[in-house]
Structures are given as structure tokens and as C-alpha cells.
Chain A
Amino acid sequence: MVVPSWHVEFLKQPLSFWLATANLANVPEPVKCTGISFDPSTDTFECFVPSKFTKKAFDDLKENPILALVGVELHTYEGYQYKGPYLSSRDCTAEEVEHSYTHMKAFSEILDTFGYSGKGFFKAYVHPPFVAISFRAEQVFDQSPKVGTGGEIGTKKS
């Protein structure tokens, strides 16, 4: 497996998640992700995203089916980036929508402790309906801010 086993617990925290795509003209697109589920047996992520933010991302994926996902812990800035091929997308189930609300509520409560308005962030990012975008991680990078950041810590063996 590419994703280190201890990431399973790390990824269950109320992290800040963002996806990114890029088209063949190399114009990138960051997309807010309101929650994820991760299957360590297949290195597969399902990323829950408000449909409102996905138009360019889906256009990009049609021509360049690669995704990047970053997850950052807000107190320590510990973060990891996962990259790999796009697999599929579909509407979120009721359970996944509930997961997004729970995740973003917990995330907003952390922001409150920094003096930001958690409610403000919640209002900015949480817009139903949500879609689930799946991809398989084939590379993992340490994204924590430090000298030497960006080092690859996992890669698919060909």
C-alpha cells in the first residue's frame, strides 16, 4: 500500500481538505473538500465536495484525470498530499452528506479557537448538494511546513 498505515487515524481528524485538478493547458483548480473517506485496502479516497465548486474540476478531469488532495491539521500544520488517478464520481449518499456536515462543524469549532468565525467558514464552504469524487493515491508527500517539505513518503511500485 502507498499510504502509510498510521495515516488512517490522522485522516479521521477534522483536517482542512482541499482537492486540485489541472487541465491540459496546465491551469490548476483548487476545490474545497468538506470531508473524505479512505479505504486503506485499496488506497482509495472518496472526497465529498459541494457541487457548486466542481464545474471546472470536472471539465479538467475529462481531459486530465489526475487529482491531488491535501489534508492539514490546523494546530501543528502537519499535512500530507495524496496524488493519483481519478476513478469516478456520483452524488453523495445521505450518510456522506451527514459526514460532511459533522466534519465541517468540527473543523469550524477548531477555527473558533483561533479567533476566526467558524460560522463564517461553515457558511462559505457548506453548500449542498454534494458529490463524491474518488481517486486512488499512488503518491504521498509530506506537506508539513519545514525545510525539505514536499518529500515523497510513499509511491506506487510499478
Chain B
Amino acid sequence: MNGRSVKLEEIMPALQGVIPTIVATSSLEHTPNVTYISQVYYVDDNHVALSFQFFNKTIRNVRENPILVAIVTCPVQYDLYKLVLRYQESQTSGEIFDNMSMQLDALAIVQKKEAIFKLKAADIYEVISIESI
């Protein structure tokens, strides 16, 4: 997927959690994994937070190999962006966690899936690159 590079603030509509994000990770043994996550949350110009809801393969992979690639979709123009991210830390309290938890609770009520949309942690990632695809 080749495309032009863009800045995080240019893709804010794609970070509102309207359309689920696809994420790919890799184990240390080079085995890929791909799944959906509910939220990519804007932290600052160089960081995003991803919702950690279950201890699954994605979480296991990024704890041993911190690179994650996400595809986010703008809900207005349906432009696609590929974000290459590096895992930094996991937060279980604080402003970012509280805001993400609140958004997720709202999503859970709308979709009647409260048990699924429970935030365990806000995982903070450094943005390495973004490209329009």
C-alpha cells in the first residue's frame, strides 16, 4: 500500500471511533495477526491510544514486538490511512483512560454490548508514519 505521508491532525475525523479500525501485529516468530479494535484515540501530534479490551493475541504480540499497523477510515470521505505505530505503555487510569472509557461506554450502550466494550487499559503508541492509501 503506497501513498502520500500525512500528519496526525489532518486525519482527526478518522480517529473519532465511528468506524472500527483494523490492526495487524506480528509475533517474534514472524507470524502475523489481524483483527478489529474499537478505538484509536488522538493523544497529541505524535501519539495515539488504542483500546485494550481483552488480553488477546494483539496484546501479546505488541508486548513482545512493539510495532503495530492500523488502518483507519475517515467516516466522511471514506479515505483510508495506514498508521505505523510503536507501543510505549499501558495506562489504566488518568485523563486518556477516562475519556476512552467514556467513549467506549457510549458505544456499548448504542450497540447493546456492555460486556464487550469494557476498557482494560489505554495503550499508548508513538506514531512512526502515516500514509494515505
**In the bound complex, CA of A81 to CA of B79 (Å):** 26
Q: A interface vs B, CB < 8 Å?
A: 16, 18-24, 26-32, 52-53, 55-56, 64, 66-70, 72, 77, 79, 81, 83, 116-117, 120-121, 123-124, 141, 143, 145-150
Assess the B31–A22 pair: CB atoms within 8 A: yes
Is residue B11 contacting chain A, with contact meaning CB distance below 8 A? no
Number of interface residues of B (CB under 8 A): 39
| Complex contacts, B30 vs chain A, CB 8 Å | 22-24, 26, 64, 66
Query: Which of B54, B65, B70, B80 meets A26, CB within 8 Å?
Result: B65
| Complex contacts, A30 vs chain B, CB 8 Å | 22-24, 34, 69-71, 82
Assess the A116–B1 pair: CB atoms within 8 A: no
**In the bound complex, CA of A31 to CA of B2 (Å):** 12
Assess the B1–A55 pair: CB atoms within 8 A: yes
Is residue B133 contacting chain A, with contact meaning CB distance below 8 A? yes
Q: B interface vs A, CB < 8 Å?
A: 1-2, 19, 22-28, 30-36, 53-54, 56-57, 65, 67-71, 73, 75, 77-80, 82, 84, 113, 115-116, 133
| Complex contacts, A117 vs chain B, CB 8 Å | 78
Of chain B, the residue at the smallest CB distance from A119 is B78
**In the bound complex, CA of A90 to CA of B19 (Å):** 32
19 A-B pairs, CB-CB below 8 angstroms?
Answer: A16-B36, A20-B24, A22-B31, A26-B28, A26-B30, A27-B26, A27-B69, A28-B34, A30-B24, A30-B70, A52-B1, A72-B36, A77-B113, A81-B33, A81-B35, A83-B31, A83-B32, A143-B35, A146-B115
**In the bound complex, CA of A52 to CA of B2 (Å):** 8
